[in-house]
Chains A and B, each alone.
Chain A
Amino acid sequence: MRVASVIKDMGLFDIFKKKNKEEVQKEQESQLEAGLTKTKQGFFSKISRAIVGKSTVDDEVLDNLEEILVSSDVGVETTLKIIKRIQDRVKRDKYVSTSELNNILREEIAALMMENKTEDVHDFVIPAHVKKPYIILVVGVNGVGKTTTIGKLALQFKLNGNSVLLGAGDTFRAAAVDQLKIWAERVEVPIVDLGMNVEPSTVAYKTVEKGLEMGVDVIIIDTAGRLQTKKGLMEELSKIRRTIQKFGDKIQPDIPHEVLLVLDASTGQNAIQQATAFTEATQVSAIALTKLDGTAKGGIVIGISDQFKIPVKYIGVGEKVTDLQVFNRMKFVNALFKDADVVS
């Protein structure tokens, strides 16, 4: 014990911690790349095929590019936007060789994603403006991985030195409460569980109440999956939100601080509808994109970034607990285009 405190006093511990962090970051980057392997392969082998035998970017190349982007779930609207940008560029520069296409595409996609002027986060930290407890409400359609994401989020916040409390608000789907309880045990955080078939807003209320009493740093509340077309269930979400707001004068007026919409990366264009409807009902503030490792089509990230002001904050690139990462647009574009030259 004494040695430990001495080390700590000497600041050695901090150095150790920092180094560890850098390592973690590096590891995360390689995981991100690995997780995106499928996307990359799909994307670039196709691009190289699109320009075979071509020296200049012409209509045929653009047509092929359209196919590639649409096939990657970027979406028709965003695809047409990207094509238009490249077209404009070809017009301006008169001649664009196909060897430059990778770079141009990278620039245009990066520019498109950066137009969405939200700030990227860099770690699982509580934002500066937040008065604790940092309350996160997790919403989404069925089967996107809400509960799993919560388990992983809880661990990441915990590893960064925060105390976390979970709220088992999915009181509808069979055994959903049990599923979250197992996660709570696994990552060793407390959980408020009122059992099944309880009004979810009651769970939310009790969780925040308990969190205040315990003085925790982060509160994450689970909700049942619901399709965005079910108006009654969407209204239930609004109610949960209003219930949490009852603690506004005790914490901060604008709570929950985060309404996290979880989207499955293999979802197609319906993701846009989901984002729209959930935003209407609960003022979604951030998106977590799960299962990115399983799809060759990560393009929905580009589509979502283009169509929404809501930032993609977290991505899931694997099954491991540490495979939940904070999302950084530049890193994403870089990872997407890394090794691209080798392919083409």
Chain B
Amino acid sequence: MSMFSNLTDKLESAFRTLRGHGKITEINIAETMREVRRALLDADVNYKVAKSFCDTVKEKALGQDILINVEPGKLMVKICYDELIALMGGTKVEINFAPNPPTVILMSGLQGSGKTTFSGKLANFLKTKRSKKPLLVACDVYRPAAIDQLKTLGEQIGIEVYAEENLKDAVGIAQRGVEYGKSKGYDTIIIDTAGRLAVDEEMMNEIAAIKKAVNPNEILFVVDAMTGQDAVNTAQAFNQILDFHGVVLTKLDGDTRGGAALSIKAVVNKPIKYIGIGEKMDAIDEFYPDRMASRILGMGDIVKFVQKVQEQYDEKEAKRLQQKLRKNEFNFEDFMSQLQQIKKMGSIKDLIGMLPGINRALKDVEIDENAFRHIEAIINSMTIKERRNPEIINGSRRRRIAQGSGTSVQQVNQLMKQFDEMRKMMKTMMKLNSAGRSFKGLPFGKK
């Protein structure tokens, strides 16, 4: 089964062998590093990259003065984390915008890497988050219905698509697309191209010709995050011909660790700029090396979590809630408003997955998003008095609530029980917080 466990599990077991040792030595680190290397290989990190990564980590670890109170295992996690970030370029890198618009962006990549979908997402992102006015240009003249696909996406996000149906001249279309964009005052022009193999000389010549014809400000290489050891070769081949500016990592919403991405950055030394995290048009994000490092180490994407919570959270409401919690007055009305907040933030599973330490516990737990509907129904069937005073909900009230909400008494009981536990847990958390132990230091703190 070890084959199917993910990198996090592997690293955890690797670091466990260090536990109990007071100090990192050449001997006790060897086994750990072998495990780390295998874990990285299982995550599709390129063999050579994994090897040199391990050498660096080992070197750093042996040179570290062991701080009192820091377990060697944790120290190793920290070193790995720092090295991963370094490997991925350290900081976030933006795409190049032309000083004099329009900015021309050229997409490239293998078949099925997700170029067309991503072109749509990028257009949508630049429009909504960067206040740009993008035009999409459909240059995939080979794959059946690829142009229709881009047009459909364009309609969905309200962005014009320049296409010339029945024409097979991708270079000409790109050129005329850019001219059209200029004449219509678009400030960003995104050119979608056909997928191609790096070994296909004719097709590689075509994209080189497109590059020459439109002189793009930004060339993005789109790569499937699930790609194996060949990712490095493919990236190198594309880079040789296009000298691209950045990498887009797609399909990161699956269970892949995206190890190939690490290798690409390490080998072609081009930054990863965006990630694709779902099928919807807003499932795009900028690439943060530190967050990705957290993901690889299974420490959760805590930064993202905090950010998301901040975006959605109403500070006043939070203060009010805190008061209530302190006084143990948290009731079903508050619970309901919390539910609404959570729902605004997106899928529960995504949200929980971003929390450090939770990954392991919840790995095999299927979160039923529908469960919230039942909970809402139950709370809606309570009287206002009941919502504010959960204590008064006795047996006969429970029966009535169950009937009114189309659930069973057991379901109502379950919710009452969960609610009770939640109240207790929140109280404990409040105490911890007021004692000055916030959750801020989590990544390397308590797990």
Contact = CB atoms under 8 A, between A and B. Distances in A.
Contact of A267 (B2, B46, B153, B228): B228
B228 A227 contact: no
A175 B153 CA distance: 9
B148 A307 contact: no
A304 to B, nearest CB: 12
Interface stretch (B35-43, B184-192, B289-297, B402-410): B35-43
Interface stretch (B66-74, B83-91, B173-181, B248-256): B248-256
A38 interface: yes
Interface in A250-274: 264, 266-273
A189 interface: no
B260 interface: yes
A329 interface: no
Contact of B251 (A77, A142, A182, A294): A142
Contact of A266 (B144, B146, B228): B228
B199 A73 contact: no
B145 A176 contact: yes
Nearest to B147: A175
Interface stretch (A10-18, A64-72, A85-93): A64-72
A179 interface: yes
Interface string B168-207: 0000000000000000000000000000011100000000
A303 to B, nearest CB: 9
B226 A268 contact: yes
Contacts of A141: 226, 251, 254
A175 B146 contact: yes
Interface stretch (B22-30, B108-116, B126-134, B416-424): B108-116
Given A174-B148, A182-B144, A268-B44, A297 B228 contact: yes
Interface in A168-207: 172-176, 178-179, 181-183, 186
A71 B255 contact: no
A79 B19 CA distance: 29
A143 interface: yes
Contact of B43 (A142, A172, A182, A269): A269
A71 B48 CA distance: 9
Contacts of B44: 268-270
Contacts of B114: 142-143
Interface string B135-162: 0000000011110111111001000000
A145 B226 CA distance: 15
B112 A144 contact: yes
A71 B47 contact: yes
A122 interface: no
A179 B143 contact: yes
Contact of A73 (B110, B229, B254, B366): B229
A229 B253 contact: yes
Nearest to A297: B230
Contacts of B146: 175, 179
Contacts of B366: 231
A142 B47 contact: no
B197 A174 contact: no
Given A173-B149, A270-B254, A145 B233 contact: no
Nearest to A277: B255
Contacts of A40: none
A133 interface: no
Contacts, number: 143
Contacts of A219: none
Given A70-B229, A175-B145, A182-B145, A264 B112 contact: yes
Contacts of A264: 112, 224, 226
Contacts of B150: 174
A344 interface: no
A175 B230 contact: no
B228 A273 contact: no
A266 B227 contact: yes
B149 A143 contact: no
Given A76-B38, A174-B152, A270 B229 contact: no
A276 B229 contact: no
Contacts of A142: 112, 114, 251, 279
Given A38-B199, A67-B47, A273-B4, A267 B41 contact: no
Interface in B209-246: 224, 226-231, 233-234
B204 to A, nearest CB: 12
A228 interface: yes
Contacts of B435: none
A229 B112 contact: no
Given A268-B227, A269-B44, A270-B226, A145 B255 contact: no
Pick the most buried of A76, A228, A266: most chain B CB atoms within 10 A of its CB.
A266
A71 B228 CA distance: 9
A296 interface: yes
Contacts of B112: 142-145, 264, 291
B229 A72 contact: yes
A300 interface: yes
B197 A294 contact: yes
Contacts of A179: 143-146, 148-149
Interface string B91-122: 00000000000000000001111100000000
A167 interface: no
A48 B228 CA distance: 23
B259 interface: yes
Contacts of A230: 253
A229 B254 contact: yes
Contacts of A75: 3, 42
Contact of B228 (A38, A173, A174, A268): A268
A175 B226 contact: no
Nearest to A224: B279
B3 A272 contact: yes
A295 interface: yes
A297 B227 CA distance: 11
A76 B41 contact: yes
Interface string A50-84: 00000000000000000100111101110000000
Contact of A268 (B110, B229, B233, B255): B229
A300 B3 CA distance: 14
Nearest to A272: B3
15 contacts: A73-B228, A75-B3, A142-B279, A143-B112, A175-B152, A178-B148, A178-B149, A179-B148, A179-B149, A266-B227, A266-B230, A268-B226, A268-B228, A271-B226, A295-B228
